[in-house]
Amino acid sequence: MKRYWLLFSQSITVLLAAWFVVATLKPQWLNQRPVLTRIVPVFEAGETERSPAVQASSYSSAAQTAAPAVVSISTSKAPARNPHAEDPWFRFFFGDQQASPQPQTGLGSGVIVSPEGYILTNNHVVEEADEIQVQLSDGRGARARTVGTDPETDLAILKIELPQLPVVVLGDSEQLRVGDVVLAIGNPFGVGQTVTSGIVSALGRSQLGINTFENFIQTDAAINPGNSGGALVDVNGHLMGINTAIYSRSGGSMGIGFAIPTSTARDVLEAIVRDGSVTRGWIGVEPQALTPELAQYFGVGQTEGVIITGVLQNGPAAAAGLRPGDVVVRVAGTPVKDVPGLLSAVAALPPGSPADIELERREGRQVLKVTPSRRNPPPRER
């Protein structure tokens, strides 16, 4: 028994000695933990873990969905001949002017919105063009004809005859919110189809002096010359607007671009395809933004709406009883808060159909029935 006890004591002593040596020289051997089955993200040096909500995303799917329907548009216009070129005295003093200068050319973009070949673009891209050529991203090309234009919104509808055309999906621009990611697709500077990204930085931009009817989407997605008429799409590749203008001091993008919303483009497209032109209502008034000074001058207590400062004699508004100093608050049930809102509400009225106009005047609130006439677009400045 004593022998076994001695053997046990010696074994314990050896184990303790070994533990002491290991604890002194290789302490990490004693601190190992069992391996867990959880997968831990691995980051490179300098990175910090990000939540899935803010991780960078790829918009390649949206670009691949919409890009095939975005086309490049090139236009040409024959140069104007000198009216005195055939005059012998003119030719005697200034030489033979028979050699024609080079035709004027232009570049822009467009979006195929129908399998029948209808293309949405800007009016200023194709205005006064003698020939319009459309180039698709798949390499095909075709000559386009102008179906109709609407200078007051700066939109135009073209048509090409090609089979199996890619078509963009028209989205609901009314659902856009400030901060939404958008992509601008077009042909800037003629370098080829280009996709840029940004966000919606503002909605309902107006009074910019670009078009008669303005309701622009503002974006910081890079838009440059040649992008006009191109697509502004959401992250699903759905068309939200037609790129039309930029704010720039240098001629290039400075982070402020404007697009015509799809809600406007859809109405213009349907009207031109159906009737060949856009028909708008007109009542013959001169509106102005309501200010406290004007309200006090005309003796009205209204704080919202548009004040009428002039009424065209023998026009629809005059025939209905509108007069200077009236503050229009509703047109056919649509609230009116500013001058662009009044113009849009009146333009939406079908000519020849009576509509109610609710207004505030010194005697109190009244409702007049006005029968609008057809609006004639003003002459466009060259």
Of the residues 72, 74, 109, 228, only one is catalytic, namely 228
Confidence of residue 91 (pLDDT cuts 50, 70, 90): low
> What is the pLDDT at residue 94?
58
The mean pLDDT value for 55-80 works out to: 83
The mean pLDDT value for 109-120 works out to: 94
Q: What is the per-residue DSSP string for 100-164?
A: PPPPEEEEEEEEE--TT-EEEEEHHHHTT-SEEEEE-TTS-EEEEEEEEEETTTTEEEEE---SS
Say what the pTM is. 0.72
Tell me whether residue 228 is one of the annotated catalytic residues.
Answer: yes
Residue 178 pLDDT exceeds 90 = yes
92, β-bridge pairs: none
The whole-angstrom separation of Cα 98 and Cα 91 is 9
For the chain, the structural domain boundaries read 169-275, 281-374
Of the two residues 26 and 350, the one the predictor is more confident about is 350
> What is the pLDDT at residue 93?
53
> What is the pLDDT at residue 130?
85
Q: Residues 146-174: pLDDT tens digits?
A: 999 999 899 999 999 999 999 999 999 98
CATH superfamily of 169-275: Trypsin-like serine proteases (2.40.10.10)
- The span from the first CA to the last CA of the chain, in angstroms, equals 120
| 3 state SS of 16 | helix
> What is the pLDDT at residue 145?
93
- Look at the block and give the residue holding tokens 């919105």: 113
Confidence of residue 245 (pLDDT cuts 50, 70, 90): confident
CATH of domain 281-374: 2.30.42.10
Q: Which two tokens stand for residue 51?
A: 């939540």
Confidence of residue 268 (pLDDT cuts 50, 70, 90): very high
Confidence of residue 211 (pLDDT cuts 50, 70, 90): confident
Of the two residues 128 and 98, the one the predictor is more confident about is 128
Residue 341 pLDDT exceeds 70 = yes
The per-residue pLDDT of the chain, averaged, comes to: 81
Angle made by CA atoms 279, 281, 287, in degrees to the nearest 5: 135
Residue 112 pLDDT exceeds 90 = yes
Confidence of residue 25 (pLDDT cuts 50, 70, 90): low
> What is the pLDDT at residue 57?
72
| Rounded alpha-carbon distances, angstroms, from residue 241 to 50, 94, 200, 245, 266 | 32, 50, 11, 12, 10
What percentage of the chain's residues is helix, strand, coil (to nearest 5)?
25, 30, 45
Percent pLDDT > 90 in the chain is 36
Buried b (16+ CB within 10 A) or exposed e, 188-203: beeeebbbbbbebbeb
Residue 233 pLDDT exceeds 70 = yes
Count Cβ atoms within 10 A of the Cβ of residue 338 and give its class: 0-12 exposed, 13-18 middle, 19 or more buried: middle
> What is the pLDDT at residue 251?
62
Tell me whether residue 180 is one of the annotated catalytic residues.
Answer: no
> What is the pLDDT at residue 52?
42
Residue 44 pLDDT exceeds 50 = no
Of the residues 154, 220, 234, 326, only one is catalytic, namely 154
Q: Which two tokens stand for residue 261?
A: 């919303």
Confidence of residue 7 (pLDDT cuts 50, 70, 90): low
Q: Residues 287-325: pLDDT tens digits?
A: 988 888 888 787 777 777 888 889 998 899 999 999 888
> What is the pLDDT at residue 382?
40
Of the two residues 122 and 299, the one the predictor is more confident about is 122
Of the two residues 234 and 33, the one the predictor is more confident about is 234
> What is the pLDDT at residue 70?
95
Confidence of residue 43 (pLDDT cuts 50, 70, 90): very low
Percent pLDDT > 70 in the chain is 76
| 3 state SS of 187 | coil
The whole-angstrom separation of Cα 301 and Cα 52 is 53
Tell me whether residue 9 is one of the annotated catalytic residues.
Answer: no
The mean pLDDT value for 364-374 works out to: 90
